[in-house]
Amino acid sequence: MTVELISVGTELLLGNIVNTNANYLSKKCAELGLSLFYQITVGDNENRLIDTVKTAMSRSDIIILTGGLGPTQDDLTKEAVAKALGRKLVMDEHSRERILKYFDRISYDKQDNQIQKASAIASKALSKITDNNWKQALKIDDCFVIDNDNGTAPGYIIKENHKIIFLLPGPPSEMIPMFEQKMFPYLKETQQKVFISKMVKICGIGESRAETRILDLIEKQTNPTIAPYAKSGEVHFRITASADNENTAESMIQPLLKELMNRFGDNIYTTSEEETLEDVVVKLLQKQGLKLVTAESCTGGLLTGRIVNIPGASSVFTEGFITYSNESKMKYLGVDKKTLDQYGAVSEETATQMVKGAADTTGCEAALAITGIAGPDGGTKEKPIGLVYIGCYLKGIVTVREYRLRGNREKIREQSVIHALDLLRRCLMNMS
């Protein structure tokens, strides 16, 4: 089945907010084995939205719209879809009651450090609700209403001539729970086949090289299929199989998964959809009972941020140094001034002293250090922009790698973090 995503909101077109909903829904559609051919973003204009819905109906089996379900005049999604389908809007008493209870619940005011109820009577709560809020209690005639447990805008499922239309609220905090709890299971039941996916995540090898290694598999693929996804410093392969049941689909995936393991070896850091590179590193440190310290120059705390984002990182991570200047490298990490004068801040020698100094200062068994030239200025012929040295200290053994990275400042810094985490991962694996 084919699916089309329609993101509604002028703020998306203007770039005021990032469209994370489309990214999330695209992944979920892939999990379901749906063929996503179109992603459309349309502003808060009723006529353009009606045309967009009609076009989507003409070419897609499933249409998912996000946004435009609020109480204000520029929230037009429900109205536009109703007109595109030639249906009326009618009052949904269930939604009306939920809105009333919602406002009654939030009418508790915090005063004098005590929670006091502002109104105990529904009629009083009713007086606090402006007329435009009742707009959210209207539904498209002959549709399924999906309760919103995190806001006031319900979602909707509409069937029209063997097509299915989903209307979801725009805020991700409302959209994601609604989709996962109510609409994902609904879509899963519409599928005649069971779809199983496995994600293979790779680092330490570029996108073009990685794809070249599996070109023969891609060219002859039928079922299961394999699709590459490039990320900064990483390459992900999604293997998807369809079958009559989960066991059969799983068994179809295994030979292809084994082949990828043979071809990429320890470049593969996980086959879990949700697991990140920093997840893997933290788990390896926990398994070996090691403490980690970081020392960053050009990345300015990005590496440390990635690590502490992981729940439970406090069991292995002690502290991080941001030593952007030469003075700070000498003061906190004990880097020798002679080393900086002779070899420069961006050098194998400085990276070595940074990572050893971080370990010696804190007594940690593991340490990572990054020093480099992220640009856009500061590069020379001998030391161009993108030159980065990463040092890894592990139980007295120091490993330093030189990297020549490409891209803008942001990309170079992001890739540096990926390479640092990957270097530590490999060193930990070799020691285990």
> What local confidence, expressed as pLDDT, does residue 431 receive?
87
| Of the residues 239, 270, 301, the one at which a domain ends | 270
User: 165 with 220, same domain?
Assistant: no
| Tens digit of each residue's pLDDT (9 = 90 or more) over 115-141 | 444 444 444 444 466 777 789 999 999
In whole angstroms, give the CA distance from residue 39 to residue 293.
Answer: 43
Domain that holds residue 201: 194-270
- Residues of 226-247 as b/e, b for ≥16 C-beta within 10 angstroms? beeeeeebbbbbbbbbbbeeee
| Tens digit of each residue's pLDDT (9 = 90 or more) over 286-321 | 999 999 999 999 999 999 999 999 999 999 999 999
User: 46 with 164, same domain?
Assistant: yes
> Own/partner pairs for 104-113, CB < 8 Å, 24+ apart?
none
User: 19 with 158, same domain?
Assistant: yes
For the chain, how many structural domains are there in total?
3
Question: Residue 222: which CATH number?
Answer: 3.30.70.2860
User: 205 with 304, same domain?
Assistant: no
> What local confidence, expressed as pLDDT, does residue 99 receive?
83
Pairing relationship of beta strands 62-66 and 163-168 according to DSSP bridges: parallel
Is there a contact between 380 and 345 (Cβ–Cβ < 8 Å)? no
User: 199 with 180, same domain?
Assistant: no
Which range (50-54, 227-231, 392-396) has the least confidence?
Answer: 227-231
Question: Residue 386: which CATH number?
Answer: 3.90.950.20
> What local confidence, expressed as pLDDT, does residue 389 receive?
98
User: 71 with 136, same domain?
Assistant: yes
H or E element at residue 13: helix 10-13
Query: Would you state the structure tokens that stand for residue 274, as one six-digit string?
Result: 């949700």
| Of the residues 132, 156, 190, the one at which a domain ends | 190
Q: What are the Cα distances from residue 410, in Å, to 208, 220, 296, 417?
A: 21, 37, 15, 11
User: 38 with 145, same domain?
Assistant: yes
User: 421 with 294, same domain?
Assistant: yes
> What local confidence, expressed as pLDDT, does residue 128 receive?
62
User: 315 with 353, same domain?
Assistant: yes
Question: Exposed/middle/buried for 283, CB within 10 Å: 0-12, 13-18, 19+?
Answer: middle
Question: What φ, ψ does residue 97 adopt, rounded to 5°?
Answer: -65, -40
> What local confidence, expressed as pLDDT, does residue 208 receive?
87
Mean pLDDT (the chain, rounded): 92
Q: What are the Cα distances from residue 154, in Å, to 58, 75, 133, 307, 346?
A: 26, 13, 12, 37, 55
- Give me the half-sphere count of Cα atoms (radius 13 Å) on the Cβ side of residue 107: 19
- pTM for this model (two decimals): 0.76
DSSP 56-87: HHHH-SEEEEES--SSSTT--HHHHHHHHHT-
| Of the residues 190, 209, 232, the one at which a domain ends | 190
User: 60 with 128, same domain?
Assistant: yes
User: 167 with 203, same domain?
Assistant: no
| Tens digit of each residue's pLDDT (9 = 90 or more) over 34-91 | 889 999 999 999 999 999 999 999 999 999 999 999 998 899 999 999 999 999 999 9
Q: Which of 47, 59, 55 is closest to 83 using CA atoms?
A: 47
User: 150 with 32, same domain?
Assistant: yes
